[in-house]
Structure 1
Amino acid sequence: MNWWERGWYKQHSFTLLFWPLSLLYLLVAAIRRVGYQRGWFASFAVEKPVVIVGNISVGGTGKTPFTLWLCKFLTEQGFTPGIVSRGYGARITEPVRVTSVHLAADVGDEPLLLAGKSNCPVVVCPDRVAAAQYLLATTDCDIVISDDGLQHYRLQRDLELVLIDGQRGLGNQQLLPAGPLREPVSRLQSVDAVIVNSGDFQSARYKMVLKPVVPIALDGQSQWPEQAQAVTLVAAIGNPQRFVDTVKSFGIEIKSTEFFRDHYAFDEKTLVGIEGPVLMTEKDAVKCRAFAKANWYYLPVEAQLPDEFKFWLQQQLNQWRDN
C-alpha cells in the first residue's frame, strides 16, 4: 500500500484536502449514471445474460477468485460461461481472445490467470460491449461474466455482484482522489448482492472466504518442500496485507516482504536480488514464469461461498432458464 492509499485507509487528514476534487468526481459519476439510466448516453444489450462482478473502490477485493468460483458454479448449473475484461495495462483496441501464448503484458495479468484456470473463454477489450459481442459471436457461451465491469455502463446487465474487502472496508468513504471510492456508498443499495471478502461489512449480505492450498512451483517441476522454510513474499496486489495474513494462516514463516504497486509489470531485473525461496500470489506468478527460479512458488487460493448465496444465485439463474 503506497502512502496515498494509507491516507485513504488510515484516515489521514491530508487526503481530505482533495475533497473539492472529489465533489467534481461525484458530479461526473452522477451524470454518467443518470445519463445511461435515462438514455442520454447509448447503452447496449447482448443476446445473453450479463453478470457484473465489480466493486465501488479501487484496489483488490477478491474479484478474481470469486470469478473463478462463479465460472465453476455456473458450469455445474448447466450454463456455459465466458468472461470479458478490460485487460488492465495491455495496449488493446479490439477484442482479443486470451490464449496460453499471450503474456500478461499482452492481455493483462488477471485475464491471463482467468483464462488459464477457469476453462472458460476470456475476451479482453476496453470496450466491454465489443468484448461481449465478440465472445458470443465466436463461442457457444450462454452467459457473460463482466470482470470489474460495474462502472462500464455502456454494457447493459442482468445481475450486479459487488465485492468488498473485509479488512479495509471502504476506507474514509470518500470518492477519488480524497478517498478510494469510484462511486458513492449509496451505490451499494442498487446492486443485487454485496459480498464481503474475509471479514465483515454492514451492507454485505454474504461472506466469502479465501482458502489457501499447497504452494506450486512456477517452473512446474519443483515440489513444495516438506521441511518448513521461511520465505520472501512478493506481491503486486491491491491489499498485500491480506496476502501476508493468508500465508501466516497456512503456517508458512515469512522472513521478508517485497511489495509493489498493483498490476506491477515484473521483469527479471526487478527480482534479481531477492533471496529465495520466494512465495507470490497466483496473479503475480503469471508475469514471472519466463524467468522464475526453481525455488519460486505461488500460493493458490480457492473462494468459498455460503449455501445461502448459492441458493439465492440459483433462483436468479432459474429466471433465465424460464426465459
Structure 2
Amino acid sequence: MCGGDRKVAPGRVRLARVKRGLYFLLPEEGEDFEAKVKRAVFWPLSLAYGAVVRSIRWAYGRGLRRPKRAPIPVVSVGNVVWGGTGKTQAVIWLCRRLLERGIRVAVLHRGYGGKGAGPKVVGPSSDPVEVGDEPVLLARALPGGLVIVGRRREEGVRLAVEYGAEVAVLDDGLQYWRLRKDIEIVMWRGPLPPRGVRLIPAGPWREPPSILERAHQIWSTEGKEAAEGVDVAFEVVPKGLKRLGGGEEVSPEALKGRKVLGVCGIGRPESFARTLEELGAEGEVMAFP
C-alpha cells in the first residue's frame, strides 16, 4: 500500500462541499462563528447520544447482553469517527494478504445505501442501488474473496461459512456489538491521545475515546506523519485511472496540467482534492455527503 515519491509539480484544486437535507445543519470542523454556533446547538443531542452509547457498552460489559460467537475467526476494522481514515483501503489490503496465503476470506458489510436487509452475496456486477456502492467496490477489488451485505452481520457470518469462508472481516465493525470479534483493529488519524472530542452530531466522534482501549491494534494511513502509539502506519497512493464504462488503465501522471472536475462522497474529501493537486491537476472537487 506504500508507494515511492512522485516528482510532479502540484496544481490547484478547489474543494466545494455539496450539502443536502440535514447535512446543511451539521457543523464542520473549524473555529469560525457558524461552526461554533452549530456545535453549541447540537451539544445537548451529543450528550444524549453519548448516554445511549455508554448504556449499550455498559449492558454488554456487565453481561446483560451477550454477543454471538461465530464459528470462524472475526476480524473487525472500524472507525472511532465518521470516516475518512482509510478503512476501506485497509480492509482491501488485509483481505488481499489473507487471500495470498490461501485463506478463504469473507467481508461482512452493512451495505449502506442499499435497499435490502440481507444477508446477500455481492458480486462485481451487482447493482450498487440494491447492495450499496462500497460492497460492489470491495467485490471488484477482491477477486477470489467473498463480500456479503446485511444489517445483521451474525447472519452474514452463517452465510459466509456456507460458502466456505475461513475468516470473516467485519467492515466498520467497531460499533457492532451483536457479534463477538476476535481481533479489533481501529483506524486512526491525528494525535494520540485525541484532542477536541465531540460526539455526533456536534462533532465526528461515534464513540468516547475510551473505546480505543478495546483495540488490539491501531492503524493509520498517515504514513510517517502517524502519531506515536499507532501500531501500523502506511500510505495510500494512487495507482492508476480507469475510464467510466471500462477501458484501459492509465498512469495518474496523466492528470498533470489537466483541468479536472472531481466528484466524491467520502469522509475526508479534502484528502481527495489534495491528491489531485499533488498529481498536478487543476480544477474543482465537488464533495457530496
Give the TM interval when normalised to the shorter protein: 0.7 to 0.9
* Residue identity matched to 2:147: V
Partner of 2:74: 50
1:184 Cα deviation from its structure 2 partner: 0.4
1:20 Cα deviation from its structure 2 partner: 2.3
> C-alpha separation between the residues in 2 aligned to 1:242 and 1:80?
33
Q: From the superposition, tell whether residues 216 and 142 of structure 1 become closer, same or farther in structure 2 (CA, over 3 Å).
A: same
1:4 Cα deviation from its structure 2 partner: 6.4
Residue among 29, 32, 36 paired with 1:13 = 36
* Residue identity matched to 2:286: E
TM-score, with structure 1 as normaliser: 0.73
Q: From the superposition, tell whether residues 227 and 35 of structure 1 become closer, same or farther in structure 2 (CA, over 3 Å).
A: closer
Q: How does 1:135-150 map to 2 (within 5 A)?
A: 135-137=160-162, 139-150=163-174
Q: Deviations over 1:98-151 (max 9, x none)?
A: 0233211111111110011112110000111111111112x1111100000111
1:131 lines up with 2:131 in the alignment: no
> C-alpha separation between the residues in 2 aligned to 1:6 and 1:86?
23
Q: How does 1:113-128 map to 2 (within 5 A)?
A: 113-119=137-143, 120-128=145-153
Partner of 1:213: 239
> C-alpha separation between the residues in 1 aligned to 2:211 and 2:89?
23
CA RMSD of aligned residues (A): 2.4
Partner of 1:258: 286
Residue among 82, 104, 107 paired with 2:128 = 104
> Any unmatched runs of 5+ in structure 2?
1-16
> C-alpha separation between the residues in 2 aligned to 1:256 and 1:214?
20
> C-alpha separation between the residues in 2 aligned to 1:213 and 1:160?
28
Decide whether the 8 Å contact of 2:81 with 2:207 is kept in 1: yes
% identical equivalent positions: 31
> C-alpha separation between the residues in 1 aligned to 2:267 and 2:204?
11
SS at match of 1:111: helix
> C-alpha separation between the residues in 1 aligned to 2:232 and 2:158?
31
Q: Which has the higher contact order (CA 8 A, sep 6+)?
A: 2
Partner of 1:246: 275
Q: How does 1:74-223 map to 2 (within 5 A)?
A: 74-119=98-143, 120-137=145-162, 139-166=163-190, 172-198=196-222, 199-221=225-247
TM-score, with structure 2 as normaliser: 0.81
Partner of 2:4: none
> C-alpha separation between the residues in 1 aligned to 2:236 and 2:113?
26
Decide whether the 8 Å contact of 1:171 with 1:179 is kept in 2: no
1:22 lines up with 2:46 in the alignment: yes
> C-alpha separation between the residues in 2 aligned to 1:223 and 1:189?
42
* Residue identity matched to 1:201: A
SS at match of 1:232: strand
* Residue identity matched to 2:281: E
Partner of 2:266: 237
Decide whether the 8 Å contact of 1:89 with 1:105 is kept in 2: yes
Q: From the superposition, tell whether residues 227 and 245 of structure 1 become closer, same or farther in structure 2 (CA, over 3 Å).
A: closer
1:223 Cα deviation from its structure 2 partner: 5.9
Residue among 31, 34, 38 paired with 2:58 = 34
> C-alpha separation between the residues in 2 aligned to 1:92 and 1:132?
17
Q: Deviations over 1:236-277 (max 9, x none)?
A: 11111101112222x23122222211xxxxxxxxxxxxxxxx
Partner of 1:306: none
1:208 Cα deviation from its structure 2 partner: 2.1
Q: From the superposition, tell whether residues 5 and 238 of structure 1 become closer, same or farther in structure 2 (CA, over 3 Å).
A: farther
Q: Deviations over 1:11-54 (max 9, x none)?
A: 43221332222222111111111212322124201111000010
> C-alpha separation between the residues in 2 aligned to 1:172 and 1:26?
15
SS at match of 2:185: strand
May I ask how many residue pairs the two structures share in their alignment?
258
